[in-house]
Amino acid sequence: MKRRITGSFVALITPMNDDFTVDFGGFATLLEFQRSHGTSAVLIMGSSGEVSMLSPEERHLVVERTVQQRLPDMEMWYGCTGPTTETTIAYVRQAGAAGADGAIIAAPPYISAGTGDIVRFFLDVADASPIPLGIYNNPPRVKTDLTANDVLEIAKHPNVLVLKESTSRVGQVAQVAAMNPDISLMCCCSPNLGLIVPTMSLGGHGTANVTGNVIPAEMVTISTPWGAAEDATRFREAYLRNLPMLEFAYSAVNPVPVKSLLGAVGMPAGPMRRPLQTLQGAALERGIQVARDLGLDRMYGYEL
């Protein structure tokens, strides 16, 4: 049986300096912030990390520099999707050589390949990978939408440890859970997709989330597997209380809301690379008000 990754798997933002270079001091602060609040693993250079706006040289440097900032009790995974199978394998191998714990890959964007092609893509990368992989079924971004049977086929590969599910077909959560694949079942935290409640109630192992950038401790509670009735109770209370922040985190294209809010409350964030723009005015105030209502200044020392 493969090892299980459980709990909150946070897709970290990429902090930047005012000149749009990567802020590695900011990375160190954010990594310690996540570790100190119980995050099990971080994904660096996922879609939350503006990965499509980083050059190949920057992607290599981010892996090399942040691996050196590794902290105990928190795994370091990296987004390694490239435009082709060969490029993706190269990114995965570079991350492995640098010391990454694992890599997350999605279908290459824009090409809108059929599911058969993408199943082959995942398996080819898994065959070549020196480190564990997670697969990300992310049809809102890449248009390709894996079926439950596709997931089961990929999950049989010994190198594939994690599924992050972002399908709009909520019923697929039950189909995958019923198959009981040897893989960590996780889902996106978007309340619009509505995957968190069925995933966790049907035996999910956690969430691969964006909102943990802002509320890491709360996402740990929401992402804890249900081993007893008390876990379900704590989940319900935390989920309903923090639903306004989950909704804010998806009020604009990822990572605009979470990165804008982190910058506004005094955390390392910096600007987004153009053409993305930081939230301003009422759109940003909405998130700040949610943070006030949740008492995040007391919880995290945010400047509200």
pLDDT of amino acid 141: 81
Report the pLDDT averaged over residues 6-33: 98
Range of weakest confidence among 122-126, 168-172, 243-247, 283-287: 168-172
Encoded amino acid at 229, one letter: A
Report the pLDDT averaged over residues 42-62: 97
What distance, in Å, lies between the first and last C-alpha atoms of the chain?
46
The conformational region for residue 180 under phi > 0 = left, psi -120 to 50 = alpha, else beta, is left
| Tens digits of residue pLDDT in 20-42 | 999 999 999 999 999 999 999 99
Report the pLDDT averaged over residues 189-218: 97
Domain regions of the chain by residue span: 7-224
CB of 101 closer than 8 Å to CB of 62: no
Return the residue matching tokens 């893989």: 183
DSSP letter at 294?
A: T
**pLDDT above 90: residue 58:** yes
**pLDDT above 90: residue 289:** yes
| Tens digits of residue pLDDT in 230-256 | 999 999 999 999 999 999 999 999 999
| Distance separating alpha carbons of residues 256 and 24, to the nearest angstrom | 20
Q: Name the β-bridge partners of 8.
A: 207
Encoded amino acid at 199, one letter: T
pLDDT of amino acid 125: 98
Q: Per-residue b/e over 97-114, b at no fewer than 16 CB within 10 Å?
A: ebebbbbbbbbbbeeebe
* pTM greater than 0.95 (yes/no): yes
| Tens digits of residue pLDDT in 132-156 | 999 999 988 888 899 999 999 999 9
| Distance separating alpha carbons of residues 296 and 304, to the nearest angstrom | 9
Q: How many helices (H) and strands (E) does the chain have?
A: 13, 8
pLDDT of amino acid 271: 97
| Distance separating alpha carbons of residues 203 and 178, to the nearest angstrom | 10
> Superfamily assignment of 7-224 in CATH?
Aldolase class I (3.20.20.70)
**pLDDT above 90: residue 166:** yes
SS3 (DSSP) at 7: strand
pLDDT of amino acid 143: 86
